[in-house]
Amino acid sequence: MDTLKFLGTGDAMGTPRVYCGCPVCEEARLSGTNARLRSSVLVESSDDFFVIDCGPDWRRQMESLGIRVMRRLLVTHPHFDHIGGLPEWADACRWVGIKGELYAPAEVIPVILRQYPWLGSHIELKPLDEGIELDGWQIAAWRVNHGKNGYSYAFRLEKEGYAWVYCPDSISLGDEETRLMREADLLVLGTSFYHEEAELSTRSVYDMTEAAELLADVKPRRAVYTHMSHDVDLRKAYDLPDNVELGYAGKTVPLGHRIEE
């Protein structure tokens, strides 16, 4: 069965935050339960894999799994914490002599190339707006509200009757934006805080209290939260819906129905 592996579950700054001495950041420095690299996942099938998002921790993430060659990548949006590793990936493609394949929404591709104009020599950038298939996964992408930071994209991946959604950066989604999340077998959702006090117009990602309302509406069978800031302490028992787990690097989730289901 295919699997989903979390490579990182942190927000844009990762945990610990460089400037911060809060108990969560200090714990992350000392014992590491709360150490979080920037959010990214790896989808593995019997003979290949692809990754979603390539933040500035990409190199460490590849090293931690002993991966020497990454051929394929999907990008949700062109913010630093999701594309900061692209130059290193392009360099790696050059040195192993492959052309990487990067799939992203058409409007995202020129933004990536504006940041890193040399990428095209070693990576082919392909639009995925009409839907693509990778390793038997039918992948649909749609634009989601990312609050004060503009827009991101979510992906729905379906194979053999199993559907899951990856949506790391979104907030205050409307009905049309949640349509493809409905009744997924798994929803991977970004929740930066448990409860974020800041005024809504200054925010960019759901918190866990708002996410509970979203889940009650779209009813995934299982949900895993990612993109968590130093506000979230994995040692705590939070009040969460029964079907929710907090992600961590190395967490692996089977992508398919178990026999007894």
Ligand X SMILES: O=c1ccn([C@@H]2O[C@H](COP(=O)(O)O)[C@@H](O)[C@H]2O)c(=O)[nH]1
CB of 237 to ligand X, least distance (A): 25
* Cβ distance to ligand X smaller for residue 80 or 95: 80
Binding residue count for ligand X, defined by CB under 6 A: 10
Nearer to ligand X, 137 or 193 (CB): 193
The answer to whether the CB of 132 falls within 8 A of the CB of 50 is no
C-beta of 2 vs 169, nearer to ligand X = 169
Q: How far is the CB of 6 from ligand X (least distance, A)?
A: 17
* Footprint on residues 147-186 left by ligand X (CB under 6 A): 149, 169
Among 12, 35, 211, 218, binds ligand X (CB under 6 A): 12
**Cβ closest to ligand X, residue 81 vs residue 231:** 81
What is the footprint of ligand X within residues 59-88 (CB under 6 A)? 79-81
Nearest distance in Å: CB 205, ligand X: 5
With binding defined as CB under 6 A, does residue 11 bind ligand X? yes
Shortest CB 157 distance to ligand X, Å:
21
Nearer to ligand X, 11 or 207 (CB): 11
Q: By CB under 6 A, name the binding residues for ligand X.
A: 11-12, 79-81, 149, 169, 192, 204-205
